[in-house]
Structure 1
Amino acid sequence: MTTAQWEVPPRKRKILFGEMLVFAILSLIAAAVLSIEAITLAKNPDAVLSCSFNTWIDCAKVGSTWQANVLGFPNAFLGLVSEPVVMTIAVASLAGVRFPRWFMFTANVCYLLGVIFAYWLLWQSTYVIGALCPWCLLVTVSTTFVFTSMTQWNIRENNLFLPEGLQAKAFAFVDKGWFTVSVIAWFALIIVLELLKWGHRFL
């Protein structure tokens, strides 16, 4: 296919970047709340946070661990920096701006690292720390949707520098809806794993 043949229809552009904008905003809100809570915990390690409900839904327990400060500062600060960038990309793209391939490819790779980090934190929270943070869960869900929207756009626009044959297969995978099915299956798997871990708490 030629470059023109890869171009995304206007309606699909609005859906993908609209979704990206909404979930980037949600992620930014969660990051802001987590940043405030991190500062609160730094001032008073014994502080009771608004999202600390019991022994297993406890933001304070999660926020006081080393996993919440992997780089030496609260992980939430990363969201305060990255999400406005994503929001800018989404708004500009909704307005018709078309960013260079290398830029969108780099954004996709960087956000992939962010998603991997988010799920590593979810794993640590679930199986190591032994408590969940509602705001962290919102970040995980939101970053997943931002990543999937961005990836679908980049596949449709041929921005990932894939070999021609692989690009055609990736495009078909997205265009026929299998990418969406995969995302739904992924969330179903995560929900099942969390229920297996915490389900007995509801009994």
Structure 2
Amino acid sequence: MSPQTTKRPTGLAIWLVIAGVVGLVAAFQLTIEKFDALYATIEDPNGVHAASCDISPIVQCTVNLNSPQGSAFGFPNPVIGLIGWMASLVVGMAILAGARFGRWFWLAFTAGLTFAFGFVCWLIYQSIFNLGTLCPWCMVTWVVTIPSFYAVLLHSVRIGAIPLGEKMKQIANTLMAWLPLLATASYLIIAVIAITKLPILDWIFYDVLQLG
């Protein structure tokens, strides 16, 4: 019999809805920026188009969107976000409406978020180490992808969809309460790496504070 929760995972469902909405907004904004850049290039092939989310040489969208990494699979990455975050929103709403999913579904959903998490980790590396920029809307995507992956993975383990034994079920159930801390620790690791590799502090002290 497919494992199912004896109690509806309302907290997980609410998070999936919130993450889905936030992720969709970020993906939509990046898609609009990509379209705007394409239109600007058509109208003026020799001109330089700056995205509305370009704040500084470090914090900007243009470099990321125009890079090969910004179209990793041959089309703009935001398209993946539009599809993926819609799935998160639908699953969250379905759970709140009383839907129960079997093992195959949670395995597939976990696999999808594992791909999203791995892809985001790759994009974070590319952004910091190769492109030297931090895209604002991309960072919004990172913020919701990381805890979504943790939450769905732990949920799949604790209900037995990923069969790792009773001990791991208990550990996963315990770790669910520590999700905010796990996510915060992940954000801090990314922040430390970014500050170490990028001149963020110089930008803050010499540009932001001077403008203030």
Q: Report the TM-score when normalising by structure 1.
A: 0.86
1:7 aligned onto 2:14: no
Superposed displacement of residue 57, structure 1: 1.3
Closer, same or farther in 2 for the Cα pair 1:145/1:165, shift >3 Å?
closer
Q: CA RMSD in A?
A: 2.0
The aligned counterpart of 1:147 is 149
Count of paired positions: 195
On the 8 A contact 1:59/1:133 being kept in 2, the answer is yes
Which of 11, 22, 25 in structure 2 is aligned with 1:29?
25
1:41 aligned onto 2:43: no
Paired residue type of 2:10? K
Superposed displacement of residue 178, structure 1: 4.4
Superposed displacement of residue 29, structure 1: 0.8
**Percent of residue pairs identical:** 25
Closer, same or farther in 2 for the Cα pair 1:14/1:167, shift >3 Å?
closer
The aligned counterpart of 1:85 is 87
Which of 8, 18, 31 in structure 1 is aligned with 2:14?
18
CA distance in 2, matches of 1:173, 1:81: 28
The aligned counterpart of 2:194 is 194
Paired residue type of 2:186? W
CA distance in 1, matches of 2:179, 2:64: 32
On the 8 A contact 1:25/1:87 being kept in 2, the answer is yes
Which of 156, 159, 163 in structure 2 is aligned with 1:157?
159
Paired residue type of 2:182? S
CA distance in 1, matches of 2:175, 2:139: 28
1:53-202 equivalence runs, <5 A: 53-174=55-176, 177-196=177-196, 197=198, 198-202=200-204
CA distance in 1, matches of 2:21, 2:142: 13
On the 8 A contact 1:20/1:145 being kept in 2, the answer is no
Paired residue type of 1:194? A
SS state at 1:120 partner:
helix
CA distance in 2, matches of 1:53, 1:173: 37
Higher RCO (CA < 8 A, seq sep 6+): 1
**Deviations, residues 102-158 of structure 1 (Å, cap 9, x unaligned):** 111111111111111112112111111111110000011111132223223323322
Structure 1 gap ranges (5+): none
CA distance in 1, matches of 2:88, 2:127: 26
On the 8 A contact 1:56/1:131 being kept in 2, the answer is yes
